[in-house]
Structure 1
Amino acid sequence: MVKSLNAYIGSVLEAIRSGSDTRGYFTWSILDVFELQDGYESSFGLYYVDLDGPDLTRYPKLSAKWYA
């Protein structure tokens, strides 16, 4: 996911430099929809959520650390 984020953010930067009126960026993607459809058996986001734990603890993935 780090490569995808890097490429996408680079493309957004290029668009801004070319005159795009970009005011924000969200990491939510179509992949999140696949998580929902898969019943959260797969994980594409920036954080892993322990769905078996009572507190639903979130753990940052490498991509979250890179994005920060």
Structure 2
Amino acid sequence: MVDHVQKHHFALSEAPFYCSFCLFRCSTREALEKHVIDYRRHALMSAMQGGGDQSTFLIENPHPRVV
């Protein structure tokens, strides 16, 4: 339930972790890293931007909203 609320009812700026590329939101760093591995479009986007590190899309909010 907490994950659902964070993904669908919080603003991006309120989520504990999010992907700035596709706006995916989650509650753990592990879920965010798995998300990037599971979706190849992140690798493609990274390659188009010069082959940079995919972790540049991964954002940890220092002051997330608590459910």
* Shorter-normalised TM range: under 0.3
TM-score by length of 2: 0.27
- Name the structure with the higher helix share: 2
Considering Cα pairs closer than 8 Å and 6+ residues apart, tell me whether 1 or 2 has the greater RCO.
2
CA radius of gyration, larger in: 1
